[in-house]
Amino acid sequence: MYSYVKGYLFIFLTLLASSGIVHSSPVGRRPAAAPGGGRFDLLLTWSEFGFLGNVSVGTPPQQVTSFVDWTWISQYVFTTTCHGDPERTSHCFAEDQPIFNQSLSSTFRNESASYPSRTWNPNHFFFYEDLTVDYASDIEIVGPSSARLVIQAADQQFDLSKTPYPFAGVYGLSPVLKGDNASVQSPFYQAWSAGAWPEPFVAFHYCYNGSVDATKTTCQGHDGLQTLGGYNQSLIQGDLSWYDIEFFPEVNTVDFVYEPAVYNYWTLSLTRLSLGDKVQALNQSTGAGAIFDHASYGRGAPLSVNAYAELISMTAATPVTLDSPPNNGNQSFYRVDCAKVTTFPPIRYQFGGSERVWEITPSNYVENVGGVCVLNVRTLGDGDMIAGNFGETFAKDKYVVFDFEKNKVGLADLRW
């Protein structure tokens, strides 16, 4: 969620974009990209929640440090509003909670006539507390891109003052499905549809601790790059493989539970899972889904309960209790002999539409936690593989691309 706000033409672009709300446009009629526009590397900083980057919203622009989330459907912002009252901010937020102050933006518009307020309960942000939003529009600036977007303006429904967040919003990057209106369109998609980005691609590159890029030079000294409006061919080793995303309703049962349900995910069909050459069973009744998510849910190698048990056996792992586990899954954790990690099997995946095999190497799924080598595995559901979150751990040494026009995921080996 951190992007550095750049572009000395932003004032001109802001005025140019402020004339109306962005709606999706047919591919052949999308406006041309704004002059001076190009792909932009949103610089990412790792946090316990996920990656953070900076965008700007409003006029004059207010920096909105945002949680960059591949699984959310909009630009969400904390506002001054608490229990429906914009003057009761202190009843919901700590004084140091970053927010977007809508009353200070001359271009902020209430869009409730077009998009009624919405509440999710449960949800995966606040779980069994209400996630309530009012719909508005305002100018968002990310690098060279400036456009008026429909955004989710939070109406906070419970007290967050004891646990302030290190961000003021969520920069959602979920795919847009057929029939979705602007209330469920990611800010990137809306801006691209308006011609504010030259290409419909978003790419991710992770400079993780322990990578060959020890100084994080390829990430400009940061923990990752979320490239918007294109992708960097120089970071791709070999071919880029493309996969169609799948509609996978089970995600709302075993992974991200929302009411009303949300189904906008970069989900691929998982067609094969193996530990080394030993094939593991997939769920026969639902199939198996690979959900791309580089936030906290994407930490840990995605395995089924049964495959995890097999890996524990293959690595002679033993139970361990950790004060700070490497991921937030509900499964137990196991320690292994650090000296034997290189002998462990790689975890291998294949996705629908290609025979290409993608691996998580043992050095990437074994985590050193306080001097103890731990299997960093995250499981979902019961029994055989039904779904997994493919995020930080899977993305190590890979380049991940999303195509918002064709709803495809691109994967390649990373050229460091």
| Residue 397 bears catalytic tag | no
Integer-rounded Cα Rg, in Å, for the chain is 21
| Distance (Å, whole) CA 307 – CA 301 | 11
Q: Of the residues 41, 69, 384, 403, which is catalytic?
A: 69
Query: Which one-letter DSSP state was computed for residue 385?
Result: B
Q: Which are the contacts of 112, defined by CB distance < 8 A and separation ≥ 6?
A: 134, 135
Q: Does residue 369 contact residue 325 with C-beta atoms inside 8 Å?
A: yes
| Distance (Å, whole) CA 340 – CA 171 | 41
**What is the chain's length?**
416
Sign of CA dihedral 321, 322, 323, 327: negative
For residue 110, the cross-strand partners are 136
Q: Of the residues 155, 223, 255, 293, which is catalytic?
A: 293
Q: Which are the contacts of 53, defined by CB distance < 8 A and separation ≥ 6?
A: 1, 2, 3, 42, 43, 44, 45, 65, 66, 68, 171, 226
Considering all CA atoms of the chain, what is the largest pairwise distance in Å, rounded to the nearest integer?
A: 63
| Distance (Å, whole) CA 12 – CA 68 | 26
Local structure of 120: helix, strand or coil? strand
| Residue 293 bears catalytic tag | yes
| Distance (Å, whole) CA 92 – CA 88 | 7
Q: Is 100 exposed, middle or buried (0-12, 13-18, 19+ CB in 10 A)?
A: buried
Catalytic positions: 69, 293
